[in-house]
Structure 1
Amino acid sequence: MNHVKGVSAVLIAMFLILSIGCASTSSREGTGEYVDDSVITAKVKAAIFNEPSLKLFEINVETFKGVVQLSGFVSSRADIYKAVEVAQGVGGVKSVKNGMAVK
């Protein structure tokens, strides 16, 4: 009986350690958040590519905890505004940071 309690205690301790190891911090994403951010990044890239006025530009997309960072070069301020607007329209996006520049 004591052996069963000991094994149970070890299993519970291992579960808690693994749970804490996969948790997120302010500077590091948890496993679930990383997957969510990857999906958001893919959706934003697809939305930008499907926008005819933005298709020709190299716009980089990165996501951290639902915050999308856009970078790259476009030909006008209107293209920047359009890219930000398209990114904001994607589900799961909390906010968009603009790091794009006009060539």
Structure 2
Amino acid sequence: MNIKLTGTLLLLGAMLGPVGAYAEDSTTDTPGQYLDDSVITTKVKAAFAEDKWVKGFSINVRTDHGVVDLNGTVNSQNQSDHATELASQVKSVIAVHNNLTVMPR
């Protein structure tokens, strides 16, 4: 393996390390499944951070075996539905459980 690729993999591992803590039940996951769930969680959070409708809301994202759980609060049912749609569009997501609470302003 060349040095550049090794450095990139080490950097990726360092970035995903803390995110991996969000996997729901890591005790039964294979290392590959655990990493896959961590990547899904990261991609969902990135989609939320880039989206003007859900950006800035406190939405907790957890992934277990490709199933994404959303917890937190939003201001409207439309925002809740949009968060589900965004999460569903992430590659490798099997299902989304929307547990968001709508708290109108």
Query: TM-score if structure 1 supplies the norm length?
Result: 0.72
Gaps of 5+ in 1: 1-26
Aligned position for 1:71:
71
Deviation at 1:56, TM superposition (A): 2.0
1:92-103 correspondence to structure 2 within 5 Å:
92-103=92-103
Q: How many matched pairs? A: 77
The root-mean-square deviation of aligned C-alpha atoms, in Å, is 1.0
Q: Which has the higher Rg, Structure 1 or Structure 2?
A: 1
Query: TM-score if structure 2 supplies the norm length?
Result: 0.71
Task: Give distance in 2, aligned partners of 1:39 and 1:95.
Answer: 15
Deviation at 1:88, TM superposition (A): 0.2
Aligned position for 1:83:
83
Query: Identity of aligned pairs, percent?
Result: 44
Q: Which amino acid aligns with 2:56?
A: L
1:33-72 correspondence to structure 2 within 5 Å:
33-72=33-72
Misfit runs of 4+, over 2 Å:
none
Q: Which amino acid aligns with 1:57?
A: F
Deviation at 1:58, TM superposition (A): 0.6
Please give the secondary structure, in 2, of the residue aligned with 1:47. helix
Task: Give distance in 2, aligned partners of 1:98 and 1:47.
Answer: 16
